[in-house]
Structure formats: structure tokens, C-alpha cells
Amino acid sequence: MTETAKFWTREDVARLLNDIDYEAAKEKKRVLNYYRDENNEYATLEVAVFIVLEWVQDDVKENVKSSTVRGTERMGWLWDAFNARKRREEYGDLGDHCLISEGEARETLREMGLDLEEGKRYLVDSFTKVNGYAPVMLPVDPRWENHRDAERKRLGLPSKE
């Protein structure tokens, strides 16, 4: 951005696009993580599972979250759930303490009548369509259990075994 204004100019955008290393971007490792949103405090709200495509960086502690889908029994799939996830995060209701395994996500979604593979496929296909290449996917997030357990400990919640 320019130094004096709080908006992007054409020159700012051009400079940003020229600075992107597109070949290096193709090698970035990504993973799908699953977050169960309990909505415990409200009997009228239902459980949701968020599937989030995240960029895993070796030299950075936190993953960079991007595309998100949300599954609920009543509403089915919300294919563009980025803002829904951000709102739940802002209230502290959705975070690393909500991380669940792929198996737990699969079972929860199955009980809702939804197929986990459908959500996963949508995220990967959307990424490929937008970027022109498929993401390099890790089978699991190497740090998800540490993230979940550290956050649950910080919040004084029982650890999941």
C-alpha cells in the first residue's frame, strides 16, 4: 500500500503480483483440518463440522487457514464458510481446542447424513480451479495434536485421548 493512503493503488497491486514466486507457491504443503463446533450453550443451534484447508509452514508455529466448508445436519454443506468460521473464531467458540481427527469428523458428518469426502473434494477441486495447479497435500497435520492439546490445556479443558 502507499505510505499516505489506506487503499490499494494499481501500482501496489502490480508490485505485489510481480513479487509472487509462483513456482515456489506450487510446492507449499497443505493439509485439511477438522473442527467440531459444539454450540453447547444454545440448545437450538446444532453441531457443525468445519473442514479447513490450511497451509503448513515448517518455520511458523500456526497454520495459515484458507478455504473452509461447514457441514450441519439441518443445512447440509455451506461451501463458502470462511466468514462463518471467522465469526465463530472471534467469539472464541471455534479454535484449536475444537480440532478433531478425520475419523471423528467422518463419523459426526455421517450421523448428519453428509459425506466427508464430498467436503474434502470440494476444497481441493476449488483450490485447483482457482490456482491452476493441485495443492501438495500432507496426509495429516504433523502438529494438530499438539495444537489441540496445548489450547485445551490453556483453556482448562480436559484433554482428549
Integer-rounded Cα Rg, in Å, for the chain is 18
* DSSP reduced 3-state for 28: coil
- The reported pLDDT for the residue numbered 13 is 85
Q: Is residue 10 part of a domain?
A: no
- The reported pLDDT for the residue numbered 2 is 45
Distance of CA 124 to the CA centre of its chain: 12
4-48 pLDDT, tens digit per residue, is: 556 788 888 888 888 888 888 889 999 999 999 986 555 566 899
Q: Is residue 1 part of a domain?
A: no
For residue 100, give Cα distances in angstroms to 84, 90, 93, 108, 112: 18, 19, 14, 10, 16
47-80 pLDDT, tens digit per residue, is: 999 999 999 998 888 899 999 999 999 999 999 9
pTM over 0.85: no
The whole-angstrom separation of Cα 100 and Cα 97 is: 9
Q: Is residue 66 part of a domain?
A: yes
> What are the start-end ranges of the E strands in 7-142?
29-37, 48-56, 64-72, 76-78, 99-100, 136-137
* Percent above pLDDT 70 for the chain: 91
Q: Is residue 11 part of a domain?
A: no
pLDDT band at 138 (very low <50, low <70, confident <90, very high): very high
List phi, psi (to 5°) of 155. -85, -5
Expressed as residue numbers, the domain containing 120 is 21-155
Based on the structure, what is the number of domains in the chain?
A: 1
